[in-house]
């Protein structure tokens, strides 16, 4: 917006205010209409001028799967009639839990890894992952436990 546009809009607002005061309109009402006139004149003065957009950088999500896409996929894989989840969702849930456990340096395949996983997520969660059928209540429990692990303050041991 150039200086000429600003001066034009302020003069237009002052004219509107003066005209309304001459007609014995209340002063605050006239000032309000003057501000409205300034805004309208400034907006109309921008018509035909090229506005440059702000340099916004929008980060595109990577193709890598994450917790959100895993949860969405698991949600679509639930059989609502029986409450059981399909094999694809069960595999994805296992990968999600494995990823969370690996963030905490826990590997279930290593000796003592199962006990550490039970200490972190609880027996029902680890047992549901090892079972052949996973129900909707198992998924809800596992996801709540994972969320608690993520939101719990991390305590570091000092030696």
- Which of 18-22, 123-127, 130-134 tops mean pLDDT? 18-22
In 3D space, the residue among 138, 113, 115 whose CA is nearest the CA of residue 128 turns out to be 138
138 burial via Cβ count (<10 Å: 0-12, 13-18, 19+): buried
Scan for tokens 């679509």, then name that residue: 76
Exposed (0-12), middle (13-18) or buried (19+): which is 1, by Cβ within 10 Å?
exposed
pLDDT at residue 82, rounded to an integer? 80
User: Has residue 35 got a pLDDT over 90?
Assistant: yes
Nearest CA to 138 out of 88, 83, 98, 72 is that of 83
Q: What is the mean pLDDT of residues 91-113?
A: 81
34 or 49, which is more confident? 34
Q: How far is CA 34 from CA 69, 106, 131, in A?
A: 52, 68, 73
SS3 content of the chain, % helix, strand, coil (to 5): 60, 5, 35
Q: Tens of pLDDT along 3-28?
A: 887 888 888 889 999 999 999 989 89
Average pLDDT on 14-43 reads 90
∠ CA 39-45-49, nearest 5°, is: 130
135-158 tens-digit pLDDT: 778 878 888 888 887 776 655 444
114 or 28: whose pLDDT is higher? 28
Contact 38, 9 (CB under 8 A): yes
Higher pLDDT among residues 50 and 127, named by residue? 127
pLDDT-wise least confident of 72-76, 80-84, 139-143: 72-76
What pTM was estimated for this model as a whole?
0.47
Decide: helix, strand or coil at residue 130. helix
Percent of the chain topping pLDDT 70 = 76
């Amino acid at each position: 917006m150039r200086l000429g546009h600003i001066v034009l809009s302020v003069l237009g607002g002052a004219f509107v205010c003066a005209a309304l005061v001459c007609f014995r309109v209340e002063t605050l009402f006239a000032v309000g209409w003057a501000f409205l006139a300034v805004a309208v004149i400034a907006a109309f003065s921008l018509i035909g001028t090229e506005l440059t957009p702000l340099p916004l950088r929008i980060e595109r999500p990577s193709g890598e799967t994450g917790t959100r896409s895993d949860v969405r996929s698991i949600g679509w894989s639930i059989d609502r009639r029986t409450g059981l989840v399909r094999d694809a969702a069960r595999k994805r849930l296992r990968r999600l839990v494995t990823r969370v456990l690996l963030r905490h340096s826990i590997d279930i395949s290593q000796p003592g890894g199962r006990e550490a996983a039970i200490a972190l997520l609880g027996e029902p969660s680890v047992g549901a992952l090892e079972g052949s059928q996973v129900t909707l209540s198992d998924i809800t429990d596992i996801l709540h436990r994972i969320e608690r692990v993520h939101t719990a303050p991390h305590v570091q041991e000092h030696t």
